Chain A
Amino acid sequence: MTNGGELQLIREQGWRIGFVNLMRREISRRFSMRNWLIQGVIWLVLLNLVLALVLEAEEGGQTITAGVTAFILATSVLAPIGMVVAAHGAIINEKKAGTAAWILSKPASRIAFILSKFITIGLGFVIIVIFLQGLIAYTQLSVFGGGLIPAFPFLGALILMAINVIFYLSFTLFLGTIFEARIPVLGIPIGLIIGQVFLLAFLGNVSEWLPNLFPGSLSDMAIQTALESSTSAPWILPVFVTLSLTALFVYLAIVRFRSQEF
């Protein structure tokens, strides 16, 4: 094999092989200005317009509390659903279109294939939907409150919501390696998001700490964190559980994808 003078043959080994190239493609695909503008406007309407309406409707001293609660609740439900919609075709589309087989006929590791999608989809979504919308919401809340609201607790709440959506990304990617059709990949995580709302209420009646074993409890925790409410909830537990489940689903997605044939 000739390299044509200045070109060097790639030297990466193991799982890293093809990673940089796949990352570059995913970034150019997902981080385009047009994509960001469309996403930004959609989420501005879905999250910050809701917040603006709540702030307009509320009167008296509870405006900020109601606004923070509304924003975090809306983000906790809509952002994971958005993440599932954004990620559900990431694996399946490539399998169906034959591009996964094409990529894997080149020197590219299957781990690099999964990780490049996990990182770029996750990063793009968290920046646009959680932190950008969070910044706009923070500005709205501060304007309505007549002064800056505490920044670090609000940032802490955004981080908790980011952890929540990343969990759904890992779960959706994992399902994409199992199923060949879109419906289960889309339906199962959305069912989990909505189902958890009722499940956590039920579990909360059984035991106070039981909901903390589910990623859905991060939304309550985010509200308490943003509002600096005193809480007896062991915040580390749902964070640990959610991060562990995220790592587990990424691992399972890799294992499953490595065993697939094209």
Chain B
Amino acid sequence: MHTEAVVVHTDGLCKSYDTINAVKSLDLSIKKNSIVGFLGPNGAGKTTTIKLLLGLTRPTGGSATVFGHDIVKDSIEIRKRVGYLAQDPCFYEYMTARETLRFVARFYFSGPQHAIEQRVTDTLTNIGLEHHADRPIRGFSTGERQRLGIGQACINSPDLLILDEPASSLDPMGRRDVLELLLELRQQTTVIYSTHILDDVQRVSDMVAILNRGQLVSFSPIEQLLSGNSGTVYSLVIKGDASQAQANVASQPWVSSIEVTSENGQTIWQVKVTDDKAAEEQLLTLAMSDGQMTVCEFKRKEYELEEAFMQILDSSDND
């Protein structure tokens, strides 16, 4: 398992603070070049997991590797290949953006001064701070700090980029830039990023990890998550008297439930099925066989990430 194809592998990783279990037996395997969205409510363990991977905090149980290096014994080897943006990025306030990037670049690279300067200038341009490059950071806005944070995380062209809430302080333009950056980096970098902005996760992630109370409650491809976790649901919008058709549909062995709601004089059925093929072939025909109603809309239901996320959290809270 510990090959370059798997960038991050955790095995029963735990972190406790006195009586609080911040991370509980985390089993995770993140493949190369994937973009993984870390979701979860505040205090779910996202930041703690990130800090464990970076060696900023030590596990109280289990183990983990990044690029095959143990997170406790070989933390520096890991950090040579990682770029990290903290949730609340902190810098030396007296330094300028240019000085900060130069300082960070020298942790990774040696070489002629002009080559370092070129790398710094390119990064400043990429993050849109070229006009503020020589201003001390103490005068920066939150958004400018966030941009600088992203720049310093990317300056070493990392093999693994870890971003903790990268878009939280950015305006819509900045947020769009971050998402575009993530998509650009997909070819050469593995990305882990935690966020509360579910729309962003839905747009760029391959995999979604959902943590709740320190536990990994879901880790699956985004498509799988959006298709729901409680069977396939078909949605029908109906006009007219649908009581007979409803009884017909409900009697089918492949129908597990029908949820009926009314909206603007229309009836909406959410039909949960156990056999996808049977539903595709027969459901619409059965509904339309009763001449007293009209089917205005028929589609397989796709969940919004927020809906799926809330469902997963609710069910994990009830467990």
Taking beta carbons and an 8 Å cutoff, which residues of A are in contact with B? 1-11, 17-18, 20-21, 24-25, 29, 97-99, 101-102, 104-109, 261-262
Contact = CB atoms under 8 A, between A and B. Distances in A.
Given A98-B88, A262-B57, 8 more contacts: A2-B157, A6-B114, A7-B110, A9-B108, A9-B110, A107-B80, A108-B76, A261-B58
B51 interface: yes
B157 A9 contact: no
Interface string B80-117: 11101010111110100000000110111111101110
Contacts of B76: 17, 107-109
B189 to A, nearest CB: 9
Interface in B27-55: 51, 54-55
B111 A7 contact: yes
Contacts of B91: 99, 102
A68 B112 CA distance: 50
Given A4-B115, A261-B57, A106 B51 contact: no
B54 A105 contact: yes
7 contacts: A1-B158, A3-B157, A8-B109, A10-B110, A20-B106, A21-B103, A261-B51
B300 interface: no
Interface string B175-195: 000000000000010000000
Contact of B86 (A7, A8, A11, A105): A105
A173 to B, nearest CB: 19
A15 B68 CA distance: 21
B205 interface: no
A109 B95 CA distance: 22
A98 to B, nearest CB: 3
A1 B56 contact: no
A24 B106 contact: yes
A18 B56 contact: no
A11 B54 CA distance: 20
B251 interface: no
A99 B106 contact: no
A6 B116 CA distance: 9
- Top 10 nearest A-B pairs by Cβ distance? A98-B90, A6-B115, A7-B111, A261-B57, A106-B107, A7-B109, A21-B106, A262-B56, A2-B157, A105-B84
B144 interface: no
Contact of A8 (B94, B111, B118): B111
B159 A21 contact: no
B132 interface: no
B111 A6 contact: yes
Contacts of A7: 109-111, 115-116, 119
B69 interface: no
A4 B118 contact: yes
Interface in B49-77: 51, 54-58, 76
Interface string B276-297: 0000000000000000000000
B81 A1 contact: yes
A104 B104 CA distance: 11
Given A10-B109, A10-B110, A105-B86, A5 B115 contact: yes
A104 B56 CA distance: 7
A77 to B, nearest CB: 32
B98 to A, nearest CB: 14
A4 to B, nearest CB: 6
Nearest to B100: A102
A4 B103 CA distance: 17
B79 interface: yes
Contacts of B92: 25, 99
Given A99-B91, A102-B86, A10 B108 contact: yes
Kindly name the residue among B88, B91, B108, B112 whose own CB sees the greatest number of chain A CB atoms within 10 A. B108
Nearest to A28: B99
B108 A107 contact: yes
Contact of A107 (B51, B79, B94, B103): B79
B219 to A, nearest CB: 24
Nearest to B51: A262
Nearest to B103: A25
Nearest to B158: A1
B79 A106 contact: yes
Contacts of B108: 1, 9-10, 106-107
Given A101-B86, A261-B56, A1 B156 contact: yes
Contacts of A101: 56, 86, 90
Nearest to A100: B90
A261 B103 CA distance: 23
A90 B55 CA distance: 22
A183 B37 CA distance: 42
B278 to A, nearest CB: 52
Contacts of A107: 76, 79-80, 107-108
A21 B55 CA distance: 20
Contacts of A21: 103, 106-107
Contacts of A97: 90
B21 to A, nearest CB: 16
B184 to A, nearest CB: 14
A86 to B, nearest CB: 17
B102 to A, nearest CB: 10
Contacts of A105: 54, 56, 79, 82, 84, 86
